[in-house]
Amino acid sequence: MNKTTQRVLGLAACFVAAMVALGLRAGTGAANSRDSKIAAAHGERTETSVATTWDQKAAAAYLDQRAGWWMGWQRAQRDHDTFCVSCHTAVPYAMSRPSLRAALAEQGPSANERKLLDNVAKRVRLWKEVAPFYTDADRGAYKSVESRGTESVLNALILASHDASNGVPSGHLSDDTRAAFENMWAEQQTSGVQKGAWLWLRFKNEPWEADDSEFYGAALAAIAVGTAPENYRAKPEIQNNLKMLSEYLNRESAAQTLSNRAVLLWACAKLPGLVEPERQKSIISELLGKQQPDGGWSLTSMAGSWKRHDGTPQEALSDGYATGLIIFALQQAGVSRENAQLQKGLAWLTANQNRTDGYWLAYSLNNNEEHHISQDTARFMKDAATAYAVLALSESNTR
């Protein structure tokens, strides 16, 4: 064999050896990544704890961007230079964004939080002057009163949550929040089958604007009262209202979707004595029973027999909205941080954040993404999913 041939063969051997080594390293990396995901899916602790394996900054950036888009979207604009407050984007944003302040070393509300709070306060102050979100003239019968009932609850919830998260030491109930509660109680139904609840927007869209969503709204009203500082829940003048609300929630609970009852569980934690203890235990047991093998939950499994408008099949995969909401509600209800199923759910959340854009996936119960108005409106479920995932994961850091 001449020297040239030997040199060629030697170089070839080095090349093969290098490729083998690279392949082994890549295989080891893939195996490690796969093992980490498997461990996370089964609630096993990896070297990085649950509290530090999700990207708070990316989540905040996504939520801020989406809130900004919603507040500037033409279809969200209302009179007096205000905008509609949506259950899918604005409300979850207001509830979740404060929980990211510590991680981001923020001293107060973000610019978009402030804009949302100012919008809500403005509409509360102008309550008798501003038009409802929707009117009978443009969206059909009952939409004016449904809009008033819905907005009154959402305004009180957003402002009470802000007061509770910003007051020192235990929060201060602002004049705007007091006015929002006065508006809310004035809209509460005092007779008929809806006694104790609020008329709620019905657009045939689950889970927030369907025929059963008044129960969801009533649960949010209870959360607002229980969240408000200065022991607002004990005010003598609202005790009859609370009695009607409690009676409604107990009376209607059994007929609700599990999605609605998950929000009720959250409300029970905020307002002790709201429903019977056995009913709370039953909800916890049913929620835990719906956990999927991968550790997450699917909104579809909590929505009964609801069918999509576009005829496409419902998505049965675990999603960020159901998983985040349920984990947060279970935490609020006092389920131990060490509970194996809770651990699996938290692990699912940390493993399923889109680290590039910060969001969690969720799937509409009403249409698939191809049948939305635009790519932005197709993100509505991601908005809610990201907010509730943030709430659940942030809560786990504080327990």
Q: What is the tens place of the pLDDT at every residue in 20-58?
A: 333 433 343 443 443 333 333 333 333 334 445 899 999
Is the pLDDT assigned to residue 314 strictly greater than 50?
A: yes
Weakest mean pLDDT among 34-48, 165-179, 225-239: 34-48
**Helices 320-332 and 380-398 sit at what angle, rounded to 10 degrees?**
30
Summary mean pLDDT of the chain:
88
Task: Kindly indicate the confidence band of residue 378, based on its pLDDT and cuts at 50, 70 and 90.
Answer: confident
Q: Find how far residue 79's CA is from the centre of its chain.
A: 27
User: Is the per-residue pLDDT at 396 higher than 60?
Assistant: yes
Looking up tokens 């019968």 gives: 141
**The predicted structure's pLDDT at residue 171:** 79
Bond from prior residue into 207 cis (ω within 30 degrees of 0): yes
Count of residues making up the chain: 399
Helices (H), the chain: 3-41, 56-72, 90-96, 111-125, 136-139, 143-166, 175-187, 213-227, 239-252, 258-270, 277-289, 320-332, 340-351, 380-398
CB 41 within 8 A of CB 347: yes
pLDDT value at residue 36? 39
Q: What's the pLDDT band for 374 if we cut at 50, 70, 90?
A: confident
Whose CA is closest to 263, among 188, 197, 346, 333?
Answer: 333
The model's pTM is: 0.86
The pLDDT of residue 7 is 47
pLDDT at 288: 98
Distance CA 352, CA 46 (A): 15
How buried is residue 393: exposed, middle or buried, by Cβ count under 10 Å (0-12/13-18/19+)? buried
Phi and psi for 65 in degrees, rounded to 5? -65, -45
Question: What mean pLDDT is predicted for residues 192-215?
Answer: 97
What is the model's pLDDT at position 241?
98
